[in-house]
Structure 1
């Protein structure tokens, strides 16, 4: 008599964004033992398994945007028959702007347990690296592809007080940044994060206008996450010059370099780094 359970389990597996060393031990175990591994890109899964020295013993099926609706019922049926199904995308957590949501809904409707092996997230990684307020934020995923629809969406977000996080494709990022600068204002602080955790990781922390100009001059490549300061960061009253100088001095007393202290104070108050630097520099040149 088989000891196979009457019902299976769906496991959402957080995959490394680019650096295989970020894979968890639990991820390795699930990939090695799951009955079915539903992968957004089966070739990337094979490459990741090789990098992790993991043998995927279960059946591997493709599960991406183009076949997600068609394949979900088959996977739900396998779950109800006792299979453990792991979902893994090209990077980050399944169902966060990636395949997985439909299967989660289908599994829950069928009474199948759903769990996760948490892993890296481009959303929270970019947010943490951006230097922008991270206590309250909202994730907007990908903006609409066409300019008119994109600008319309951005107009509804212009007054959002929380920090905003977007995904964007390399070939659309210049247009997206231009629309962001036009709608939110060119001085709104932002960060363009690309190739997170990979060899050529880069985080550009500049106002939207400067990022838009840079993207036209040298189009960025790779996977891109945009982090944009909320309206509250921009619209709050600017501290007076003495307060800003004192804030930089306080950070310097903790051992922070002047450059880093100026950057931290500028980011906190939604100001240009040059503006804060000039205040501090003029003060250091003023005789007592």
Structure 2
């Protein structure tokens, strides 16, 4: 993705998959993408592959910051392999965002649909996250035995 908001939505979608993902990236944008990943998911393992299946194939492995420190002039076909993104993302506080949508006059379904579009997730994923958040027991609310 080229714009910041699209990058945020893309990362939210990738992190919701909880599996390794493969992306083709332009050598012109790889520096910015790595910087973005370094800032948002500093511990996520990556592999950056250049010119795969060719004579000058190169693979860099590590975190986004380690790969950025290679200070390369990025050229050629770039493939970015992102390990399962840990939930170290600053996850949006869906409960408060949902409540803001409801307070602004949207129905339950409209609020879910709006949040799903905003974070590039399915309505079911948003609903599940809201349900999980509302039914989880925190240490402060656990019953005493």
Structure 1 unaligned spans of 5+? 1-143, 235-288
CA displacement at 1:202 relative to structure 2: 0.4
Aligned residue pairs total 87
Q: What are the equivalent positions in structure 2 for 1:110-189 lying under 5 Å apart?
A: 144-183=1-40, 185-189=41-45
Cα separation, 2, equivalents of 1:213 and 1:162: 25
1:193 and 2:56 aligned? no
> How large is the RMSD of aligned CA atoms in angstroms?
1.9
1:219 and 2:73 aligned? yes
- Normalising to structure 2: TM-score of the pair? 0.53
Cα separation, 1, equivalents of 2:48 and 2:59: 6
Q: Contact 2:14 / 2:85 at 8 angstroms: preserved in 1?
A: no
Q: Contact 2:20 / 2:81 at 8 angstroms: preserved in 1?
A: yes
1:204 and 2:91 aligned? no
Secondary structure of the structure 2 residue equivalent to 1:188: coil
Deviations 1:191-219 (A, max 9, x none): 000101112100111112212333xx223
Q: CA 1:165–1:218 in structure 2 vs 1: closer, same or farther (change >3 Å)?
A: same
CA displacement at 1:150 relative to structure 2: 1.4
Secondary structure of the structure 1 residue equivalent to 2:8: helix
Deviation beyond 2 Å, 4+ runs, structure 1: 155-160
Deviations 1:111-156 (A, max 9, x none): xxxxxxxxxxxxxxxxxxxxxxxxxxxxxxxxx1223321232133
Deviations 1:79-105 (A, max 9, x none): xxxxxxxxxxxxxxxxxxxxxxxxxxx
Report the structure number with the largest CA radius of gyration.
1
Q: Contact 1:189 / 1:228 at 8 angstroms: preserved in 2?
A: yes
CA displacement at 1:231 relative to structure 2: 3.0
Cα separation, 1, equivalents of 2:31 and 2:39: 12
Q: What are the equivalent positions in structure 2 for 1:99-110 lying under 5 Å apart?
A: none
Structure 2 unaligned spans of 5+? 89-145
Q: CA 1:149–1:231 in structure 2 vs 1: closer, same or farther (change >3 Å)?
A: closer
Cα separation, 2, equivalents of 1:208 and 1:159: 19
Q: What are the equivalent positions in structure 2 for 1:1-288 lying under 5 Å apart?
A: 144-183=1-40, 185-214=41-70, 217-231=71-85
Residue of structure 2 equivalent to 1:51: none
